[in-house]
Homo-oligomer: A and B are copies of this chain.
């Protein structure tokens, strides 16, 4: 980076707020994390909400913001850039804003994509994680979560991607259908998870039928109550993996951009599918924002 003071990286999502104070050499010096997502901000009070969190940080540091903060419910709604797009494209489309407190904020918008089947797709922030991870030398990226994204790059451009409603569907199945009834809490069960993944890989189109086995295997005493949740998680993540890899070469390598907790399940499922996979940096968004800031001449 060309500056001597560093910057502030902001990852402001629907349900969570994260801010990173970044040194001039790119190291994260301090992190603030709070359950103050954009839905928790009432009456448009985003500036006050921001100052509440990072008020102690130097007001002259440039702020780079990404996430749902640029969506319709956010601070400032920015139109999506269509894919393919690069970090330089995002840098050109930054929206600059100075707060009453004097902070200079640059908002990075998200990317839209129109799949060959005609379905539109949207994301805000995962593209920044990917631009921060291109030096891994991998072309395929997964950002697991409530809405997982499977992203394919070409050179320095993000080419195409697909969203999977995996995390939310798993939670809804567990908490709001009969599939959760026989579940008892327990530690992650690796074998039950793998069993669910294999079932999904063997019959990818049977989701609505296969998941019933989370109940019937329990009823027949063939799956312990403590293992059912892991098994259902394997079914759901396995379904996602089976579909997401279909258009990629068999020898493609994947990078999972997440902490080992949720990321570990994805790494395991991708390995069971017989593919190459590695962990990426779960904080790649900081590096991505630094790259965009650099291309925009902000740092």
On chain A, which size bracket covers the interface?
35 or more
User: Is A100 on the interface with B (CB-CB < 8 A)?
Assistant: no
Q: Give the docked Cα–Cα distance between A240 and B211 (Å).
A: 12
Query: How far is it, in angstroms, between the C-alpha of A163 and the C-alpha of B213 when the chains are bound?
Result: 9
Interface string of A218-262 (1 = CB under 8 A from B): 011010000000000000100110111010000000000000000
Known: A120-B216, A120-B220, A120-B222. A177 touches B205 (CB 8 A): no
Residue of A168, A211, A244 ringed by the most chain B CB atoms within 10 A: A168
- Measured in the bound complex, the distance between the Cα atoms of B118 and A202 in whole Å is 12
Q: Is A276 an interface residue (CB 8 A)?
A: no
Within 8 Å of chain B (Cβ to Cβ): is A117? yes
Copies per complex?
Answer: 2
Nearest-neighbour CB distance to chain B for A234, whole angstroms, equals 14
Report B-chain residues with C-beta under 8 Å of the C-beta of A206. 243
Nearest-CB distance from A230 to chain B (Å)?
A: 17
With the chains together, A122 CA to B220 CA distance in Å?
10
Chain B contacts of A121 at CB under 8 A? Answer: 212, 216
Contact of A168 among B164, B177, B202, B236 (CB under 8 A): B177
Task: Please indicate the chain B residues that have their CB under 8 angstroms from the CB of A202 in the complex.
Answer: 117
> A120-B217, A121-B216, A169-B177 given as contacts; is B210 within 8 A of A207 (CB)?
no
CB neighbours of A175 from chain B (8 A): 176
**Closest residue of chain B to A72, judged by CB?**
B219
Contacts of A163 in B (CB 8 A): 209, 212, 216
With A173-B172, A178-B168, A212-B147 as given contacts, are A219 and B122 in contact (CB-CB < 8 Å)?
yes
Q: A residues engaging B (CB < 8 A)?
A: 117, 119-122, 147, 162-166, 168-169, 171-173, 175-179, 199, 202-213, 216-217, 219-220, 222, 236, 239-240, 242-244, 246
| Given A119-B217, A169-B173, A169-B208, 12 other A-B residues pairs in contact with their CB atoms under 8 A | A120-B217, A122-B219, A163-B212, A163-B216, A165-B209, A165-B211, A168-B176, A172-B173, A172-B177, A175-B176, A207-B243, A208-B239
